[in-house]
Amino acid sequence: MADSTAQAKKHEDRRTYGMVSVAVPMERVTRPVFGKHGFAGGALVVDWPAIVGSVVASHTLPIRVKFPPKDRAEGSLVVKVDSGAYALEVQHLEPLILERINGYFGWKAVARLKLVQGPLPTPPKKAVKTVVAAQPSPGLAAKLDAVEDPDLREALARLGRRLTNS
């Protein structure tokens, strides 16, 4: 009984002190979710644009990896493609994509691609912050008049506006 209590306490006390990379605790969160779809830690999903290239990644999304029973090699990767025309392109690029995926993992993790057509999730749009050009404060304007270089004066004025607006 005491041994199981000590093990439970050991697993509960996972505190980290000091600065820690975000990737360390993030893997604890993402591993159970991505693991259900065959992605070990979600590395394939996160690094998909780096693996296949930004052009292919903009039209595709890896969905899941299906491995043979009791084996973690030569699986089939289910990839969602946004259009039938691009599915044909991905079909022609399949040997290259498989080579890049297996090179990324360092072993023959994926043997074939299974393409599924459907809409891809749209990435969230970044809000564009509009900056209103305000006049510098009278005290700042007086100090900026002493600066001879017009580019430097403008840069200092922008800095002053940002500091007073924050």
**What does the pLDDT look like over 64-123, one tens digit per residue?**
888 888 877 888 999 999 998 999 999 999 999 999 988 888 888 889 999 999 998 887
Would you state the structure tokens that stand for residue 142, as one six-digit string? 């007086």
Domain that holds residue 73: 23-117
Does any domain span residue 40?
Answer: yes
**Quick one: which of 107, 117, 96 has its CA closest to 52?**
96
> What's the total number of domains in the chain?
2
**99 and 161 assigned to the same domain:** no
Dist CA 166 CA 161 (whole Å): 9
**109 and 165 assigned to the same domain:** no
**110 and 165 assigned to the same domain:** no
**162 and 94 assigned to the same domain:** no
The four Cα atoms 95, 97, 102, 105 give a dihedral, to 10 degrees, of 180
Dist CA 133 CA 158 (whole Å): 8
How much of the chain, in percent, has pLDDT values that exceed 70? Answer: 66
Does any domain span residue 71?
Answer: yes
**Quick one: which of 111, 115, 109, 116 has its CA closest to 91?**
115
What's the pLDDT tens digit per position in 24-67? Answer: 555 565 555 555 545 554 678 888 899 999 899 999 999 988 88
Judge if pTM exceeds 0.85.
no
